[in-house]
Amino acid sequence: MNRPNLRGPPPDKNADKKKLPFSQNLLQLRDKRWKEIRSIITPSFTASKMKQMAPIMNTAIDSLMSKVEKQCEDGEEFDIYPMYQGLTMDVIGRTAFGIQTDSQNNPNDPLLRSSKILLSGEITNPVVVLATSFRSLNALWNWMNKIRLVLINKGTNPFKEMLQSVKFVISMRRNNKESRRPDLLQSMIDSEIDDLSKVTSDNLTAKEGDANENESKGSSSSTLIRRMTDTDILDNSVLFFLAA
């Protein structure tokens, strides 16, 4: 007797060609394309780049400490987790994208609010467990979850809201040449990579001088084959903001 296929139809072999929304980020990509994107992003996290970020991080941490001190003066218990979320968003926004966020003092910041809502919910919820266990229930769960998120966000889809916010950040950088800075966003906008046959495990580890090496190659490299597309930049930018 044939057993029923409770997990639904097999994955679509042409799924990569369809490029579903938010499918071009590092967590979703595989194989060759993952290597391409990974080798572009990696140089933004060398030791020298991290040292340049330190003063910006310290400024954000100073804001956190000021808020903690004020709470301590009241002599009452308080939840520090939201403060850490604001700190993380400020550090990501300022160091990786060059925007002067103030999420610690503005809990209604669109990026922070959208991120919190999108990552809300318990993964141990029975409905979530069932939906992730049986592929045939995925469509129903996605529909229910979309409605849940819209209701939490008072009628607005938080994912679309985050996309619009991130698109605005990217647009500002592209339109304002004077705002160029050696950060993650600029690397994604400018970066070009060599033929993937030359990408090894060494290319996937942040090393000193990677960024300068890429810049020195310029457009004269005969093996230069592609740039990150708008979708690549948008999806991976959203991924970093969701880390808050």
Q: Is the dihedral of CA 64, 69, 71, 76 positive or negative?
A: positive
Q: What is the 8-class DSSP label of residue 240? A: H
Low-confidence ranges of the chain (pLDDT < 50): 1-9, 11, 13-17, 193-196, 211-226
The angle, 0 to 180 degrees and rounded to 10, between the axes of the packed helices 81-96 and 110-118 is 120
Token pair in block for residue 115: 């991120």
Q: Which helix (H) or strand (E) holds 227?
A: strand 226-227
Q: What pLDDT sits at residue 134? A: 79
pLDDT tens-digit series, residues 64-98: 999 999 999 888 899 999 999 999 999 999 999 99
Domains of the chain: 31-194+227-243 (1.10.630.10)
Burial of 5 (0-12, 13-18, 19+ CB in 10 A): exposed
